[in-house]
Amino acid sequence: MSKGSSQTYENHLARFEARSNVAKGLNGAEDILIWQKFKDGDESAFVYIYNTYFEDLCHFGVQYAQLPIVEDCIQDMFVSLRGKRGQLPDIKHAIRLYLFQALKRRILNVLKKKKPMFSDDLSQYPFEVIPPHESLLIINQSQKDKLSRLDQALRGLNEKQREVVYYFFYKGMSYEEVQNMMGYDHVKSARNMVYRIIKSLQKVFVMVVLCWPL
């Protein structure tokens, strides 16, 4: 246990964070610049934003509703953003976060207006965690068992927890972004949520810990 090495590591991480944010334009100068250009009426900035986030938004949306409905919402969202580009607020975080929040509101609104639907409609079970296609990693039965136990634990999470899993573990969002997506007042709530999820997967980890060759 050495505090020293952990300290260095944190420093590393902070530097790495700063560099990679510049490189990816995450939360950083690039997003703010593009957003400003779009607000000033630059059409190519608008098209750039659309092209960059379209697939991401679709994938997020289909966690709530069928693709055609999601596509409609995305269409309306962009029409409306483009229509009132002058009055839009400046961006505090990433563009992606702003769009995700807007789309979530829109889809939930549309779903609320819809009549009750069939039981197999996605909106009844948002953010379903499904295992990826069997990968080469799976070599033997015992590994298979562990994976299926993990899948079970993931499926056992409640809706809010699954939503956080989507943002944090699947989309790689920061705690602050998770806070914003979930509408929490404090970042701390987002952190607690993630910790609680890790805790409830803990049981599985214990089994998995024994051997997990990659």
Partner 1 sequence: MKDSNYNIDYFLSNKYFVSWVKKPTEESDIFWQRWLKNHPESHEEFKKAQAIILRINFQGDQRIGERKEELLDLILRERKSQHYVEGESKKTLVLKLLPTLFRLAAACVVVILMATYLFSEFPVKNYPGEVQTVAFRTKSNPKGQKSIFFLPDKTKVILNAASQISFPEEFNANSREVFLEGEAFFDVTHDANRKFLVRSGEVVTEVHGTAFNVQAYSGEPVSIALQRGLVSVYPALAGQPTIPQYLKPGEMITVSKDFETAVISQFDFEEMLGWQEGKLVFKRATMETLIKRLERWFDVEIEVEGKVKDSWKINGIFKNENLVNVLEGVRYARNIDYQINGNKVTIRIKNNQ
What are the backbone angles phi and psi of residue 139, rounded to the nearest 5°? -105, -45
84 vs 195: CA distance, rounded Å: 39
Query: Which CB, 13 or 29, lies closer to partner 1?
Result: 13
Yes or no: say if 101 and 88 are a contact pair by the CB < 8 Å rule: no
Site for partner 1 in 190-209 (CB under 8 A): 191, 194-195, 198, 201, 205, 208-209
165 vs 123: CA distance, rounded Å: 17
Residue 145 binding partner 1, by CB under 8 A: no
Minimum distance from CB of 121 to partner 1 (Å)? 6
Residue 134 binding partner 1, by CB under 8 A: no
The Cβ of residue 3 has, within 10 Å, a number of other Cβ atoms equal to 7
Query: Which CB, 33 or 67, lies closer to partner 1?
Result: 67
Rounded to the nearest angstrom, the gap between the alpha carbon of residue 74 and the centroid of all alpha carbons in its chain is 17
Sequence-distant (≥ 6) Cβ neighbours of residue 129 within 8 angstroms = 151, 154, 155, 157, 162, 165
Among 73, 94, 103, 181, binds partner 1 (CB under 8 A): 73
DSSP 130: -
Site for partner 1 in 5-34 (CB under 8 A): 5-6, 9, 12-13, 16-17, 19-20, 23-24
Query: Which CB, 18 or 29, lies closer to partner 1?
Result: 18
Segment lying near partner 1 (by CB under 8 A), choices 32-40, 63-71, 93-101, 181-189: 63-71
Query: Which CB, 99 or 165, lies closer to partner 1?
Result: 165
Yes or no: say if 197 and 164 are a contact pair by the CB < 8 Å rule: yes
Residue 136 binding partner 1, by CB under 8 A: no
Site for partner 1 in 84-123 (CB under 8 A): 106, 109-110, 113, 117-118, 120-122
